[in-house]
Amino acid sequence: MITRTLAVLAPLAGAVLPLSDVPDPVFAQELVGPGRAILPSLLDQTVSAPISGVLRILTPHAFVVVGQDDRAVLVHLGVDAHSGRQPAAQALAQVGQQVSATEPILRWLPSRTDPALHNACPIVALEAITKALLGAYQGDISAGSHLFAWQTGGS
């Protein structure tokens, strides 16, 4: 079987956290998949595609890009950010659009999110297994930098 590795890039700048540090059990327990979270460093961010593919889901607080090999990556803006009274983000792309890694998807204003909510942004390899993620970055990261590699296949 052929091993395939997909590079997942940071969709925004900030401090990288393990998902276990996210105060939401769905993400912390990797119920939708493994990944990392980024605590944003700026109060106004352009959030970009972490991989190249088709934008399948787009809401004011999350989006999913599905790559050529059907691997999907979720970017969720804040924990329970959708509970805020005001829209947290402005769409810069459309569902069904082919996007390249680092292409802008949302303009996010964490400062307009309910202050009681946590701004950590989970980036999740949907339906992956934890051991499929390699070389996960730790520390401060710039948008567009390598966040982790997602490996499939092998023997």
Residue bearing tokens 């999913």: 64
* Burial class, 97, CB count within 10 angstroms (exposed 0-12 / middle 13-18 / buried 19+): middle
Q: What is residue 131's three-state secondary structure? A: helix
- CA separation for the pair 134, 102 (Å, rounded): 20
Residue bearing tokens 């890039």: 9
Could you give the dihedral angle defined by the CA atoms of residues 130, 131, 133 and 138, in that order, rounded to the nearest 10 degrees?
A: 80
- Active-site residue list: 76
Can you state the percent helix, strand and coil of the chain, rounding each to 5?
Answer: 10, 45, 45
Contact 112, 86 (CB under 8 A): yes
- CA separation for the pair 21, 138 (Å, rounded): 13
